[in-house]
Amino acid sequence: MNILESVLNAGGGGAVSHIAKSLGMGESQAQSAIGQLLPVLARGLSNNASTQDGLGGLLGALGQGNHQRYVDDPGILGNAESVQEGNGILGHIFGSKDVSRQVASRASEKTGVGADLIKKMLPMVATMAMGALSKQASSAGMVGTPAAPQQPTGLSGLASFLDFDKDGSIADDLLGLAAKRFFS
């Protein structure tokens, strides 16, 4: 299962429904916004994971955090602690609140969902993405096990696991999955 499917199917498919309900929007709007946000988050993660230090930091975060709980129980996404963690994830991915605001603005333009709602949704989607990555990395034995690599070299480890077409970038793979899911 790819990351987009993991996020959309989290909590038995209730993640999108929960996000939509908590923000007072329709499920199709929430799904459309998530479809716009995940590829941007994936690009940011890919950029961060393109260096040995960045990939090591991502694997460390996946192994140390309890991110899987967001996939297993999406009902906690709107909690203050979850939103704070999501904002922290966004800070690592984008580097500044200005970039997050720009992402929300672009997603708003493409989906018709208000930028204020997308700004509230963005930390929820970030925690869900990390939860999905954590779950996949854990099931692949990449984190959370004594044999898991602590400091991978290059694009080995998680990045190569997510690089479906083995071209050295996970962004295009996740973008393609999002396009197939939402625009076909």
pLDDT tens digits, one per residue of 19-52: 899 999 998 999 899 889 988 888 888 777 777 7
Question: Who has greater pLDDT, 56 or 1?
Answer: 56
User: Is 144 within a domain?
Assistant: no
Query: What's the pTM value of the predicted model, to 2 decimals?
Result: 0.74
Question: Who has greater pLDDT, 55 or 28?
Answer: 28
User: Is 102 within a domain?
Assistant: yes
State how far the Cα of 49 lies from the Cα of 8, in Å rounded to an integer: 23
Domain count, the chain: 1
User: Is 114 within a domain?
Assistant: yes
Asked if 37 and 125 count as a contact pair (C-beta separation under 8 A), the reply is: yes
User: Is 53 within a domain?
Assistant: yes
User: Is 143 within a domain?
Assistant: no
Rg (CA), the chain: 15
Range with lowest mean pLDDT among 25-29, 60-64, 115-119, 170-174? 170-174
Give 144's DSSP letter. Answer: S
- Confidence band (pLDDT; 50, 70, 90) for 170? low
Listed ranges 48-57, 103-112, 142-151; the one with the highest mean pLDDT: 103-112
Residue 108's CB: how many other CB atoms inside 10 A? Answer: 18
User: Is 132 within a domain?
Assistant: yes
Half-sphere exposure of 161 (CA within 13 A, CB side): 21
Please give the structure tokens belonging to residue 123: 């930390």
In sign, the C-alpha dihedral spanning 20, 83, 143, 91 is: positive
Phi and psi, residue 165, nearest 5° = -95, 5
Range of the domain at 122: 3-138+149-183
- Confidence band (pLDDT; 50, 70, 90) for 138? low
State how far the Cα of 184 lies from the Cα of 64, in Å rounded to an integer: 37
User: Is 176 within a domain?
Assistant: yes
pLDDT of residue 75: 85
User: Is 67 within a domain?
Assistant: yes
CA dihedral 87, 89, 93, 97 (to 10 degrees): 10
Scanning the chain, the segments in alpha helix (DSSP H) are 3-9, 14-23, 27-49, 52-64, 68-72, 80-94, 97-111, 115-139, 158-162, 171-183
